[in-house]
Amino acid sequence: MSASNWALCPKCSKKYVSKIETAKKALNDAYGKVSIDQYNKLQNEFKNIENADSEDNPEDSLREDYEQGIVDGKYYVSYRASCQECNWSFKYEHSQKIEC
């Protein structure tokens, strides 16, 4: 069996979430300490980050390829993932002789 899937990259997602958390903290820290105009500006910046387009939070940038099966009396599984945006990758392979 073989399949491909596109998903959200865990590294890109972590970076995106960190960016949102940093902007939210700056917004919360500024509350009551800056002018309303400055606070509104920070609030708009936060909203822009939170609603970022696909360049900042690339959905479907992680390509997943996997297969499994039985060949020559061995069960095998192979999984590979790589991000088209940040070049992060992961690979897992396992094979095991089966009793017949």
pTM: 0.66
The per-residue pLDDT for 55 is 56
pLDDT of residue 97 exceeding 60: yes
H or E element: which one contains 94?
A: strand 89-97
* Domain region containing 42: 2-97
The per-residue pLDDT for 2 is 44
pLDDT, tens digit, for every residue of 12-29? 889 888 888 998 999 999
Closest CA to 28 of 14, 77, 20: 20
The per-residue pLDDT for 50 is 78
Q: How many whole angstroms separate alpha carbon 21 and alpha carbon 35?
A: 22
Q: How many whole angstroms separate alpha carbon 52 and alpha carbon 12?
A: 13
Number of domains in the chain: 1
Residue 51 or 47, more confident: 47
pLDDT, tens digit, for every residue of 52-89? 754 556 678 899 999 999 999 999 999 999 999 999 99
